[in-house]
């Protein structure tokens, strides 16, 4: 698996080999040590350390007043987090799965996103809503959602989706320190898929900056989260088999988008494919494609391809492998852009 | 609560001397811990029915063990065990009339089975095929609800809908967990049920835990049943490890839902006090958050054992019959596994039933996938990170 090209992190020189989920725990712990106003809350985040162990050890380290097991109520968790933020704390609510965020949707879009504008800048809502998202882990119904577009569509929210352990920690740190509400989506398919050197101590990966995971001059692929891996696999394969060099851009922040990096890459290649797990219709791919056309139409050599989940609910696990974009589907999509 | 005419409800009077005892304070029960009928009570079920109920509970337990083992072998995915809770599940479904509806969560495998869902269907869903959610014609069971508490307003609404249409012969029974009582949907559903006085019965399976969060961290209410009061409906606590008591209480709630006498309100919230012996699901490790010695205390009141003792004591069961039952259920579950495992993956299923008529766009997406399957073979679709 390609996990290289992670050299954009300032570091104190020390690193440790962590999985993505361990990097998140490390990021939480590092920031909580630095800033006493941070509190983590959610279902099973305390004694149990989170159902994915993302908050493992934090309860022991910081106690039950800062790592809080709440009743099972997403609207209550996010709604109370808004109040906590208004009181001057920095809450980090965990949604157990993205598919269970909908009860909190009202609080997020009606309030978290608008407190700044509604109060004319007088109040803000500094919080990071963490949620594991995406498919591929043979989970039951509603456990494999990737509906990032819902949140990207809402002005006032920032949306982040890391694809590597080092990014996960750096982006989480930046999100925690960001004065606006951030939806931090964790690609659970790659929570434990690989380890990587992650700098110890605090560092930020700035929000709103994409990362070029692989350079290439023939075609640009835009993706994020767990789909970065199959996109890199497809790119390597096309390079080996056909000599096609694909530039793979990991967007990392979905709102705000790094328009400059998106457009610059396209100006170089003139061809693009966008890969996401979410259904195609009105997915984020549509937005990215339009940005490219608005900003770089004259560079365009071929129709922009979207390789995405289907416009159907994620199937139960026996068929989810057919639903998620696979390396072969990505390859075909890239070829469609190249061979046009 | 007034129960069936011939029944004299017995409220156990146990002095609380531990958490577990206090959970059993003021619960309705019929069988004592050893399975003796408490004096002056009527289980409200014929001997044959009690024996049949026993067989279903035994089957449920065996199914549970087999499902856990299939999960460990990687043959099915995440499974939510029900051991310790089967007595209550089976008994609540025994209380239903055929035309009544059942709204289950992801844990009510036995409740669904008793109300008409076949065993292979239960397993087909666990094997990862949505076909398993299909409910046979005439069986009034909704597919499992995974998002917590979302079924509560639906059940209320269906009950409301039937009364609006003058179909007074049916009630709706909705299962939920203790954790579910924290969600807004629970409160909204029960509030509506009270306001519109609909024929609905809400069964809260208080198994003491919502994953790692214990009941007392879920609500500061002393009991869950008492929440009913704030919605103007009836609430009752029943010993959920006493299948006969659960039957009597649920049957009475169903009766009242359909035929309230003067001054009676239709909806009931039943708090079925029980314990989740095992893990929340096969992906969970309860040793991280709870003392396993507690489970042993609850096991002393095991529903299967208690009913079994009762049946032996009353001469309805002997060892020969028990062996016969055991053989029968093992055979049934084995056959169900075989049947379910013969179901084949049909990727087209992803695109089916999204709309009644598949839109062109979706059809095109399916055609595209099928082209790629032909070109690359099914192996290319097994995992994403390869
Ligand atoms: C809306 C929602 N939030 C979170 C979850 C994740 N989750 C699944 S089961 C569960 C605990 C449920 O506890 P309870 O209602 O007591 O039922 P039990 O599983 O104990 O039967 C949680 C938090 C979910 N399924 N739905």
pLDDT of residue B296: 86
Strand partners, B203: B175, B270
pLDDT of residue A12: 66
Chain A contact for B356, CB < 8 A? no
Nearest in space to B275 (alpha carbons), one of B248, B237, B310, B302: B302
Looking at the structure, tell me whether residues A188 and A221 fall in a common domain: no
Chain A contact for B147, CB < 8 A? yes
Q: What is the pLDDT of residues A193-225, one digit of tens each?
A: 999 999 999 999 999 999 999 999 999 999 999
Measured CA to CA, the distance from residue B316 to residue B90 in angstroms comes to 19
Please give the distance, rounded to the nearest whole angstrom, from the Cα atom of residue B177 to the centre of ligand 1: 8
pLDDT-based confidence at residue A6 (cuts at 50, 70, 90): very low
pLDDT of residue B26: 79
In a domain, A204, yes or no: no
Looking at the structure, tell me whether residues A78 and A156 fall in a common domain: yes
In a domain, A312, yes or no: yes
Q: Which of A199, A229, A245 is the last residue of a domain?
A: A199
Atom 18 in ligand 1: residue holding the nearest Cα: B177
Q: φ, ψ for residue B233 (rounded to 5)? A: -120, 175
Provide the residue range defining the domain that includes A159.
Answer: 13-199
Nearest in space to A172 (alpha carbons), one of A145, A212, A203: A203
Residues of A in contact with B384 (CB under 8 A): 136, 189, 226, 229-230, 321, 324-326
Rounded percentage of chain A residues whose pLDDT exceeds 90: 96
Positive or negative, the Cα torsion across B374, B379, B382, B386? negative
- In order, the DSSP letters of B148-198 are TTTHHHHHHHHHHHHHHTT-TT--EEEEEETGGGGSHHHHHHHHHHHHHT-
pLDDT-based confidence at residue B386 (cuts at 50, 70, 90): confident
Looking at the structure, tell me whether residues A146 and A258 fall in a common domain: no
Nearest in space to A275 (alpha carbons), one of A302, A241, A248: A248
- Residue in A closest to B362 by C-alpha: A311
Residues of A in contact with B284 (CB under 8 A): 51
A136, A310, A321 member nearest B351 (Cβ): A310
Q: Across residues A144-161, what is the average pLDDT?
A: 98
Helical (H) or strand (E) element with B206: strand B200-206
The answer to whether the CB atoms of A138 and B350 lie below 8 A apart is no
Query: Which residues, at least 6 apart from A79, have a Cβ–Cβ distance to it below 8 Å?
Result: A104, A107, A111
pLDDT of residue B21: 63
Looking at the structure, tell me whether residues A160 and A66 fall in a common domain: yes
pLDDT of residue B29: 94
Looking at the structure, tell me whether residues A188 and A65 fall in a common domain: yes
Q: Which of A199, A220, A243 is the last residue of a domain?
A: A199
Q: Is residue B127 classed as helix, strand or coil in its secondary structure?
A: coil
Least confident interval from A63-72, A127-136, A280-289, B15-24:
B15-24
Residue A283 CA from chain centroid, whole number = 15
Q: Across residues A327-340, what is the average pLDDT?
A: 97
Looking at the structure, tell me whether residues A101 and A237 fall in a common domain: no
DSSP state of B291: -
In a domain, A8, yes or no: no
Q: What is the pLDDT of residues B255-303, one digit of tens each?
A: 999 999 999 999 999 999 999 999 999 999 999 999 888 888 899 999 9
Looking at the structure, tell me whether residues A68 and A107 fall in a common domain: yes
ipTM: 0.94
Looking at the structure, tell me whether residues A157 and A223 fall in a common domain: no
Ligand 1 pocket: which of B149, B150, B179 to mutate (most atoms within 8 A of CB): B179
The answer to whether the CB atoms of B146 and A193 lie below 8 A apart is no
Q: Is the peptide bond before B42 cis (omega within 30 degrees of 0)?
A: no
Give the CATH number for residue A110.
Answer: 3.40.50.970
Looking at the structure, tell me whether residues A84 and A224 fall in a common domain: no
Positive or negative, the Cα torsion across A74, A37, B220, A107? negative
pLDDT-based confidence at residue B18 (cuts at 50, 70, 90): very low
pLDDT of residue A56: 98
Q: Which of A199, A220, A249 is the last residue of a domain?
A: A199
Contact B247, B50 (CB under 8 A): no
pLDDT-based confidence at residue A167 (cuts at 50, 70, 90): very high
Residues of B in contact with A226 (CB under 8 A): 384
pLDDT of residue B228: 98
Three-state SS annotation for chain A = CCCCCCCCCCCCCCEEEECHHHHHHHHHHHHHHHCCCEEEEECCCCCCCCCCCCCCCHHHHHCCCCEEECCCCHHHHHHHHHHHHHCCCEEEEECCCHHHCHHHHHHHHHHHCCHHHHCCCCCCCCCEEEEEECCCCCCCCCCCCCCHHHHHCCCCCEEECCCCHHHHHHHHHHHHHCCCCEEEEEEHHHCCCCCEEEECCCCCCCCCCCEEEECCCCEEEEECHHHHHHHHHHHHHHHHHHCCCEEEEECCEEECCCHHHHHHHHHHHCCEEEEEEEECCCCHHHHHHHHHHHHHHHHCCCCCEEEEECCCCCCCHHHHHHHCCCHHHHHHHHHHHHCC
Domain count, chain A: 2
In a domain, A163, yes or no: yes
In a domain, A2, yes or no: no
CB pairs < 8 Å spanning A and B: 145
Q: What is the pLDDT of residues B154-198, one digit of tens each?
A: 999 999 999 999 999 999 999 999 999 999 999 999 999 999 999
pLDDT of residue B25: 67
Nearest in space to B113 (alpha carbons), one of B76, B77, B59: B59
pLDDT of residue B1: 38
Q: Which residues line ligand 1 (CB under 6 A)?
A: A 43, 72, 74, 96, 100, 103; B 107, 146-148, 177-180, 205, 207, 209-211, 276, 280
pLDDT of residue B344: 86
Q: Is the pLDDT of residue A326 over 50?
A: yes
Residues of A in contact with B78 (CB under 8 A): 138-140
Contact A76, B182 (CB under 8 A): yes
Looking at the structure, tell me whether residues A154 and A47 fall in a common domain: yes
Q: Is the pLDDT of residue B383 over 90?
A: no
In a domain, A329, yes or no: yes
The answer to whether the CB atoms of A312 and B350 lie below 8 A apart is yes
Q: Is residue B76 classed as helix, strand or coil in its secondary structure?
A: coil
Give the CATH number for residue A309.
Answer: 3.40.50.920
In a domain, A225, yes or no: yes
Q: Is residue B71 classed as helix, strand or coil in its secondary structure?
A: helix
pLDDT of residue B16: 32
pTM: 0.95
Looking at the structure, tell me whether residues A186 and A37 fall in a common domain: yes
Query: Which residues, at least 6 apart from B98, have a Cβ–Cβ distance to it below 8 Å?
Result: B116, B140
Contact B105, B177 (CB under 8 A): yes
Looking at the structure, tell me whether residues A151 and A300 fall in a common domain: no
A136, A323, A328 member nearest B380 (Cβ): A328
Q: How many residues does the structure list for chain A?
A: 340
Please give the distance, rounded to the nearest whole angstrom, from the Cα atom of residue B1 to the centre of ligand 1: 30
On average, the pLDDT of chain B sits at 93
pLDDT-based confidence at residue B15 (cuts at 50, 70, 90): very low
Rounded percentage of chain B residues whose pLDDT exceeds 90: 87
In a domain, A205, yes or no: no
């Amino acid at each position: 698996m390609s996990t290289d090209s992670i050299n954009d992190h300032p570091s104190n020189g020390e690193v440790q080999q962590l999985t993505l989920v361990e990097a998140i725990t490390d990021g939480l712990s590092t920031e909580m040590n630095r800033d006493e106003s941070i509190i983590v809350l959610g279902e099973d985040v305390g004694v149990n350390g989170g159902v994915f162990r993302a908050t493992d050890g934090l309860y022991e380290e910081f106690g039950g007043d800062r790592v809080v097991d709440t009743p099972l109520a997403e609207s209550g968790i996010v709604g109370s987090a808004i109040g906590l933020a208004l009181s001057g704390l920095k809450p980090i609510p965990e949604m157990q799965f993205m598919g269970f965020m909908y009860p909190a949707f009202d609080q997020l879009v009606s309030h978290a996103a608008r407190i700044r504008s509604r109060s004319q800048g007088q109040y803000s809502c500094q919080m990071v809503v963490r949620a594991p998202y995406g498919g591929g882990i043979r989970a039951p119904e509603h456990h494999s959602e990737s509906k990032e577009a819902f949140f990207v569509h809402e002005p006032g929210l920032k949306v982040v989706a890391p694809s590597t352990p080092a990014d996960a920690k750096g982006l989480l740190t930046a999100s925690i320190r960001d004065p606006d509400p951030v939806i931090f989506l964790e690609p659970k398919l790659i929570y434990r898929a690989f380890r990587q050197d992650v700098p110890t101590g605090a560092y930020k990966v700035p929000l709103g900056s994409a990362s070029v995971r692989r350079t290439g001059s023939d075609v640009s692929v835009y993706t994020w989260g767990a789909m970065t891996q199959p996109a890199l696999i497809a790119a390597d394969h096309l390079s080996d088999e056909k000599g096609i060099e694909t530039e793979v851009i990991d967007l990392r922040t979905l709102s705000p988008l790094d328009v400059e990096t998106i457009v610059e890459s396209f100006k170089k290649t003139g061809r693009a494919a966008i890969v996401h797990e979410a259904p195609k219709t009105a997915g984020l791919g549509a937005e990215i494609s339009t940005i490219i056309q608005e900003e770089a139409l004259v560079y365009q050599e071929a129709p922009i391809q979207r390789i995405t989940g289907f416009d159907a609910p994620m199937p139960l696990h026996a068929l989810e492998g057919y639903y998620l974009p696979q390396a072969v589907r990505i390859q075909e999509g890239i070829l469609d852009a190249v061979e046009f | 609560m007034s129960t069936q005419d011939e029944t004299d409800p017995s409220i156990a009077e146990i002095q609380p001397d531990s958490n577990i005892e206090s959970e059993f304070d003021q619960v309705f029960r019929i069988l004592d811990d050893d399975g003796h009928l408490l004096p002056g009570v009527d289980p409200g079920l014929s001997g044959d029915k009690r024996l049949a109920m026993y067989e279903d509970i035994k089957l449920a337990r065996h199914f549970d063990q087999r499902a856990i083992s299939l999960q460990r072998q990687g043959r099915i995915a995440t499974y939510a065990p029900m051991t310790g809770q089967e007595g209550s599940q089976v008994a609540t479904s025994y209380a239903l009339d055929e035309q009544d509806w059942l709204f289950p969560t992801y844990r009510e495998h036995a409740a669904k089975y008793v109300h008409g869902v076949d065993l292979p269907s239960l397993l087909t869903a666990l094997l990862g095929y949505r076909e398993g959610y299909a409910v046979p014609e005439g069986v009034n069971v909704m597919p499992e609800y995974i998002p917590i508490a979302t079924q509560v307003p639906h059940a209320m609404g269906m009950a409301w809908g039937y009364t609006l249409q003058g179909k007074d012969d049916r009630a709706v029974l909705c299962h939920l967990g203790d954790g579910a009582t924290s969600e807004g949907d629970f409160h909204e559903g029960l509030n509506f049920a009270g306001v519109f006085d609909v024929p609905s019965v809400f069964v809260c399976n208080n198994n003491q835990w919502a994953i790692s969060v214990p009941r007392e961290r879920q609500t500061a209410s002393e009991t869950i049943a008492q929440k009913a009061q704030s919605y103007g409906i009836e609430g009752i606590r029943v010993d959920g490890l006493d299948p006969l008591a659960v039957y009597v209480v649920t049957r009475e709630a169903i009766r009242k839902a359909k035929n309230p006498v003067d001054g009676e309100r239709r909806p009931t919230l039943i708090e079925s006090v029980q314990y989740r012996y095992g893990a929340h699901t096969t992906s969970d490790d309860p040793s991280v958050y709870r003392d396993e010695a507690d489970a042993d205390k609850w096991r002393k009141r095991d529903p299967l054992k208690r009913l079994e003792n009762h049946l032996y004591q009353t001469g309805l069961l002997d060892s020969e019959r028990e062996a016969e039952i055991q053989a029968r259920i093992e055979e049934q579950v084995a056959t169900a596994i075989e049947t379910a495992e013969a179901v084949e993956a049909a990727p087209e299923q992803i695109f089916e039933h999204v709309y009644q008529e598949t839109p062109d766009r979706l059809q095109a997406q399916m055609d595209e996938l099928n082209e790629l399957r032909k070109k690359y073979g099914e192996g290319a679709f097994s995992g994403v990170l390869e």
